[in-house]
Structure 1
Amino acid sequence: MYDMPDIRDGRTDFDFFIGDWTVLHRRLKARLAGSTDWVEFGGVCETRKILSGQGNMDDNVLDLPEGRYAAVTTRLFDPQTQLWSIYWIDARNPGIDPPVHGRFENGVGTFYGDDVFEGRPIRVRFTWSDVTPASARWSQAFSDDAGETWETNWTMDFTRVR
Structure 2
Amino acid sequence: MSALFTKPAITTDQASTTAPRDGRDDFDWLAGRWAVSHRKLRKRLAGDTHWDEFAGQCEMRQIVGGLANVDDNLLEQPSGTYRGGALRLFDPVEKLWSIWWIDSRIPGLDTPVRGRFENGVGTFVAEDTWEGRPIVVRFIWSEIAERSARWEQAFSTDAGATWETNWIMRFDRVG
Amino acid at match of 2:37: L
- Aligned partner of 2:67 in structure 1 is 54
Deviations 1:9-34 (A, max 9, x none): 00000001000000000000110111
Pairs aligned (count): 161
| 3-state SS of paired residue (1:111) | strand
Report the Cα distance in structure 2 between the residues aligned to 1:53 and 1:39, rounded to whole angstroms.
Answer: 34
1:88-107 matches, within 5 Å, as 88-107=101-120
Q: Greater RCO between the two (CA within 8 Å, min separation 6)?
A: 1
Partner residue of 1:66?
A: 79
1:153 and 2:166 are equivalent in the alignment? yes
Q: Which runs of 5 or more structure 2 residues have no equivalent in the other structure?
A: 1-7, 9-13
2:142 is the counterpart of 1:129: yes
With the length of structure 2 as denominator, give the TM-score of the two structures: 0.90
Number of the residue aligned with 1:108 = 121
1:7 is displaced (CA, Å) by: 1.1
The alpha carbon displacement at 1:94 in A equals 1.3
**Per-residue deviation at 1:66?**
1.0
Q: Once the 2 structures are TM-superposed, how far is the Cα of residue 6 of structure 1 from its aligned partner?
A: 2.8
Deviation string for 1:64-123 (max 9, x for gaps)?
101110011000000000000000010001110000000000000000001110111100
**Aligned match for 2:37, one of 1, 7, 24:** 24
Query: Could you tell me which of 57, 61, 64 is aligned with 1:44?
Result: 57
Task: Return 5+ residue gaps in structure 1 as ranges.
Answer: none
SS of aligned partner of 2:109: coil
How many percent of aligned residue pairs carry the same amino acid?
Answer: 59
Q: Output the CA distance in 2 between the equivalents of 1:96 and 1:79.
A: 22
Correspondence list, 1:2-13, <5 A = 5-13=18-26
Q: CA RMSD in A?
A: 1.2
1:81 pairs, out of 77, 89, 94, with 94
Q: Which amino acid is 2:70 matched to? A: M
